Structure 1
Amino acid sequence: MYRILIVDDEPMALYSTAHTFPWADWGFDPPVLMTEAPAALDKLRTERFDAAIVDIRMPQMTGIDLIRLSGEAGLQTVFIVLSGYSDFSYVQTALRLSTFDYCLKPILPDAAQAALERLSGRIHDIRVGSDPAFLATLSSTAPLKPLFTQRGLPVPEGMLSMVLLSAEKPETLPPLLNGFQASLSFWVDANEVLLFTPMPEQALLSALPKSPDVRVCYTVPVLQDILNPVRQLQLLRQTMAEVQPGQAPVSIYVNDCSPTFFDMLNYVDEHLSDDLSLQRLSAQFHLNYTYCSELFRAITGATFTKYLSSHRMERARTLIITTPMSISEIARQTGYSNYNHFSATFKTYFGQTPGAYRTAHQEGSVR
């Protein structure tokens, strides 16, 4: 959830620092390691890091200069100095530059744990102060892909889900998000975290925390083009108000995609007896065929073919048990010109032929 950069020109010291701090316990992704301060400054300028741990004495650029130049660039990165030098002048200079902490090498595990706990709290306070205002600027016209790049994350090309997690104690949330390393995270308020994740729904459900103190709701994966973060966040928060701690995650559908698509769904349901194909429907409703195919998967959870087949079978079942209409006529009314094909499909869905199903559910039927 939190990104951290470690800068030290000594590879062994860099390795030791990376393996001494319990990153995952406090919601940090595995640290990014660098040995050259100028290159580290460029990375801080182009990607977003919540924190950085830097050595003092390094060639080309000192840790103090790195902190100063980062501040002049307006970066919000929180710095910890980790140095083998306890000279008070170094400490004084670092503190004057608003360095968060000054620790001595080699840092022991207990001290590393305490420093990381303080750092996590500080980042939480900063993010709670800045993330909500930033989220309010996002809309369907503000692409999310550049944000993934800024966080050093793979840029998703397909579907995204929004996941809202809430806990009474905010410090319990960051460690629970270690399974979402390819996801954007934002603090909605002091007790709620919002994720944008490209994970498929089943993988998402497996990664979601199982905790009696946490509430979770999420949007089913949907194309980025129809995702409106501000609107969906409002819906998630409204849903969250009804979710109890420890309750199973609650999913919601994104229903603010093109209204034309829902017009098309209504048309399909009203014309099940017609010869329907996605290619003709997408042309009829002026929707891109590929886009339309992806929408079917995102919104209905099925391909067009499966959606059409299941709705036809549900219509057929209703007609079989509520009307005296012949099975052959029901087949035609639900879009099947071939009786044998209709009968085989019906049996696949309900485990019985149409005639046997009617016999079991309706007396005095007609074939």
Structure 2
Amino acid sequence: MYKVLIVDDEPWVAYGLAHLIDWNANGFEVIGEAHDGVTALQLIIEHVPDVVVSDIRMPGLDGIQLLEKLKQQQLDVEVILVSGYSEFQYAQQALRLGAFDYLLKQVEAEQLLESLQRISERLRTKRETQPGVDLFLHDLFELLEPSNGTTVEQFLQNKGIQHEQPHFRFISCELADASVFPLLAAEQHVQMIRTCQLRTGLNKWAVLINYDEQSSSTHFLDYLSELTEHAQYAGISSRGYGHTKLALLYDESEVACCSAGFYRYGQLMSYKKEELDAKDKKMVLQIELAIKEGDLLAIKALLGEWSDRCSDERIAVDRLTTVYNQFISLLLKYYGNAVRYNDLEHLPYDQLVRFYRSPDEFFSRLEGLFELMNEQEAHVSNDQAKKIIAYIDQRYTEDILLSSLAKQFNLSIGYLSMLVKKETGKTYSEYVTEKRLALAKELLGDQSISIQDIVQRVGYKDYFHFNKLFKKHFGITPSKYRKL
């Protein structure tokens, strides 16, 4: 049953369309009505209909503008526009923008049924060749949380997606830009593997692949090669089965993708479960001893050795993050009040690779943290401190790294982070995050701005990351907050 949203600024016209034909008998279900374009856009984002039947002439956001919004946000919805004879040129413009069809008022039942029959065929073909591509970000947020216990098989059954092969893998892909992800379930692959594509961010997609590793390994490798041609970085999970947790496979593919981007090495990395080894544990103990002895040279030497090993072995970012957080704990443990103004916080792996975009930047930052604990505070005037905070306030929606800010004001990274905490009572990342989220709350009050647009406006690129931060700070997702 395909879902339909009817949009017309005249309620009685919308009601008439909803009762013009027997929708259910023809494989469609009317899930609601909207009487303006802004409300229609929000309902489309929230309920993901397959088809929208909309009037062209509406106040606020008309049918053409609604179609443009759908195209901009890459919302895969089939649109039938309804127009009068005098609006024919608008209908032509709509078709150029990707509308499926237009119908002239007053709409006849036969015309509507004929258009729906053709749409039904298109939707059926689309689902058979590329199931799941119409899933949107907010539908997946809870589903892909690590604590979610939904299995791969349960997910596919809930979405009505057929699967025949025993093995599953997730592939996470980061694109160079926000272009539409290619539909790659080509005919040579369809008989041997099935795919379900999920958009997981502004420029990120994940693909769940169902295949038989023994009988279709060649087809799988061919598809993988074709897929990664369109990705800047990609990560592939370990092999899973129907009873495997969906979120587990997704997280593995994300770790691998983040690792590929962090090291800037190759295009595709495979997930490999990595625990801290004996060398990692010994190095942490040696650094703790050096901290006790105040031996900064020994700490730098140990960090240099670990940096070389990380680059040589391509240590996965989740393992790297575990060691990093142990260092943060050591700094908090041994320096106590001395770090009260410092930008010290434990991080998950996805935030770590956002803050430190390369191994060089990561280890430079670590070294700076240890240096800070061994140097006297430099003197910065109150006026200079205010200029720094004012600079951040003016540009907090931009992607400004702490290292870039330190260079701008000719300060060490460690001292600058301490200064920000002293002036604001928050770490640099906390301060920027709170200002961004405060702006996001304000923008959510404007129904004409989509949540995806808001994510970009406040300085984020990843919808999932923004959603997690918003829920963590306010206890509710952005889409639910907007409904309050």
- The bucket for the TM-score relative to the shorter chain is 0.3 to 0.5
Determine which structure has the larger helix proportion and give its number.
2
Q: Which has the larger radius of gyration?
A: 1
- Give the TM-score taking structure 1 as reference length: 0.39
- Give the TM-score taking structure 2 as reference length: 0.30
